Amino acid sequence: MRTLGHETAGTIAKLGSNVSDSWNVGDQAVVHLVVSCGVCSECHAGRDHQCEVANEGPIPMSYGIGQPGGTADYMAVNARHLIKLEDVDLAEAAPLADAGLTPMQAVNSVRDRLTPEATVVVSGLGGLGHVGLQIILATTGSRVVALDTDQEKVDYATQKGAIGMVSDESAAEKIREMTGGIGADVVLDFVGVQPTVDIATQVIRNGGAIRFVGLGRGEFPYIAGDTKVLPWNVNIQLPYTGTLSDLRQVVALAAQDKLHVEVERYSLDDAVTAFEDLANGRIQGRAVLVP
Ligand SMILES: [Zn+2]
């Protein structure tokens, strides 16, 4: 049997004997997604999301994935994996554990390129993409082009201060025109299906950076020496989860009211209904189970 739930926030009910006195019963916290060890070379380098112990399998060891997760009245967590919450609603904090964390890692990995002169393309404004958009708008001065196939989501991005654009066959050309033919400095693809992967490779500029966050199985051919597929010096990464430091930054933005995740609350006893509603596309944003 496995207890699901890899995005968890809660109130501390009991402290273990080795927990430092910086924690008290009644404190609220969000759980870091990756079960990192704190003592391997990756953890010591501040890359705890790449912890050697947690990454022995193909997917990093997480609460809810390999270890018991948060869809329960109580869960046991190593205090090292908690970030304290102040002024953040627990139900709204829970999705930050992944839907906030992974976009923050993606944005932080390209932060040196997100200058006020830069153009960044955010592709897909769903669960993670709409958070990534808010993180960029709140923490950079770059010009943001936000793409989605859904007009409502495009309008949401425009209201937030981005240049909303419908993601269709003409999008890549429009972005190239907007940048004087140079292309975008950064593309964050939160979808990863063939059309969005095509847009990413078509609009990225020489020396730009692409982050493929979405897992939609789109592909492109890498041909050594052929710059028709990708221009020179393009940097590509596949962000997965994020560090404790990334999570702290996400929580801080939420506490400052600069980051909002749309949530729909269900009681823990109604979990099956929540999963059914999710499967039938009846949930806007994230469904949160409240014990
Ligand atoms: Zn480690």
Say yes or no: 127 and 227 in one domain: yes
Kindly give the distance from the C-alpha atom of residue 49 to the centroid of ligand 1, in angstroms, as a whole number.
8
CA of 246 to the centre of ligand 1 (A): 16
User: From the CA of 119, how far away is ligand 1's center (Å)?
Assistant: 35
Cα of 157 from ligand 1 centre, angstroms: 37
Single out the residue of 48, 49, 61, 215 nearest to residue 129, CA to CA.
215
Whether 231 and 113 map to the same domain: the answer is yes
- Give the DSSP letter of residue 24: -
Distance (Å) from CA 26 to ligand 1 centroid: 28
Average pLDDT, the chain: 95
Note the pLDDT of residue 283.
84
- Say how many Å lie between the CA of residue 111 and the centre of ligand 1: 24
| Whether 125 contacts 146, CB under 8 Å | yes
- What pLDDT was estimated at residue 282? 87
How many angstroms is it from 8 CA to the middle of ligand 1?
21
Give the pLDDT confidence score for residue 177 in this predicted structure. 98
- Which pLDDT score, from 0 to 100, does residue 72 have? 94
108 shares a domain with 216: yes
Give me the mean pLDDT over the 215-243 stretch.
93
Domain with 30 in it: 9-98+243-260
Residues ≥6 apart with Cβ < 8 Å to 107: 114, 132, 135, 136, 139, 140, 188
Q: Are residues 129 and 58 in the same domain?
A: no
- Residues 82 and 134 grouped into a single domain: no
CATH number of the domain to which 16 belongs: 3.90.180.10
| 110 and 228 fall within a common domain | yes
7 CA to centre of ligand 1 in angstroms: 20
pLDDT digit string (tens) for 135-145? 999 999 999 99
Please state the φ and ψ torsions of residue 143, each to the nearest 5 degrees: -75, 130
Q: How confident is the model at residue 53 (pLDDT cuts 50, 70, 90)?
A: confident
Least confident piece of the model among 213-217, 261-265, 266-270: 261-265
CATH number of the domain that residue 153 is part of? 3.40.50.720
Residue 54 pLDDT? 83
Instruction: Give yes or no: residues 14 and 128 share one domain.
Output: no
Query: What number of residues does the chain have?
Result: 291
What's the rounded Cα separation, in Å, for the pair 112 and 102? 18
| β-strands 28-31, 9-11 pairing | antiparallel
Residue 123 within any structural domain of the chain: yes
Residue 66 pLDDT level (bands cut at 50, 70, 90): confident
Q: How far is the centre of ligand 1, averaged over its atoms, from the C-alpha of 197 (Å)? A: 32
pLDDT over threshold 90, residue 127:
no
pLDDT at 247: 98
Q: How far is the CA of 151 from the centre of ligand 1 (A)?
A: 43
**pLDDT score, position 290:** 95
pLDDT tens-digit readout, 14-23: 999 999 889 9
Query: What's the pLDDT band for 230 if we cut at 50, 70, 90?
Result: very high
Within the chain, strands assigned E span 9-11, 28-31, 62-63, 66-67, 82-84, 119-123, 143-148, 163-166, 184-189, 204-212, 235-237, 263-267, 286-290
Distance of CA 248 to the CA centre of its chain: 13
278 located within any domain: no
> Count of domains in the chain?
2
Give the model confidence (pLDDT) of 145-177 as tens digits. Answer: 999 999 999 999 999 999 999 999 999 999 999
pLDDT of amino acid 55: 80
